[in-house]
Amino acid sequence: MKEKTMAERIMLFNETLMNETLVLPSGFRLLNPFLGEQKELVKKVTTVFYQKYYNDFGVRRIILGSSPARRGTAITGVPFEDTEHLQNETGVFLEGGHVSQASSDFLNEVMRTYGGYRKFYTDFYMNFVCPLGIVKKNSKGNEVNCNYYENKKLQEALYPFIVNSIRNQIKLGIDATLCYCIGSGENYSFLSKINSKYCFFEKIVPLEHPRYIMQYNSKDKKKFIDKYINALNN
């Protein structure tokens, strides 16, 4: 049997996400770009993107955020990439998220500093501890972003899915000696706990979340970019 490229393995992993039938506690809803109204466009975008950067048999290190944002990856299907940048990359436009997100802007600058998108994606694979987005209703009845760790019942409902997802992502062609965790607080704490139990990675390196950097420490952006670059060059 012909060996699959990493792009093909990633697309197969994304297909498994289409079959997820997770039952969440009341007040929470799952966002799955691979099953949404734009699923055909999402499939086209992700196929073009991964074939562009992962059409090989190389081994990558993994970078894990917490869970997709409702106007970011939960729309695009490509971790930490907004629709504007992906349109430039793939020529495909996705509605509903055509804004530059602070997180993707910061990470795009990290990628350029690292040596460009080609070099970055040759060395790294990005995704999430929980690869599907979650929203909850606020006091005004509006849906807002929610992380998997914000509610104990939610975390319990997602736990088996999270463990299985990390295990399957490592099988894509990941060097498990080192994992980078975007989110140095609760995401890092949770990931460290399950790593102690399942021994997914030899070491986890925490990095401050780009949203935190851009919202509260934008004047020190250069310092945080240097921190990311130094960690990634480890």
Let me know if residue 79 belongs to a domain.
yes
Structural domain boundaries enclosing 25 = 6-232
- Rounded distance between C-alpha atoms, residue 77 and residue 132, angstroms: 9
The answer to whether residue 1 is domain-embedded is: no
pLDDT tens by residue, 111-142: 999 999 999 999 999 999 999 999 998 888 88
Strand partners, 134: 30
Mean pLDDT for 179-205 is 97
C-alpha–C-alpha distance, residues 167 and 175, integer Å = 12
If one counts the domains in the chain, the total is 1
Flag whether 80 is in a domain: yes
What pTM was computed for the model?
0.94
Domain CATH number, residue 116: 3.40.470.10
pLDDT digits (tens, 9 = 90+) for 51-110: 999 999 999 999 999 999 888 888 889 998 888 888 888 888 877 654 456 777 899 999
Task: Please write the tens of the pLDDT for every residue from 4-26.
Answer: 999 999 999 999 998 888 999 99
Q: Does pLDDT of 162 surpass 80? A: yes
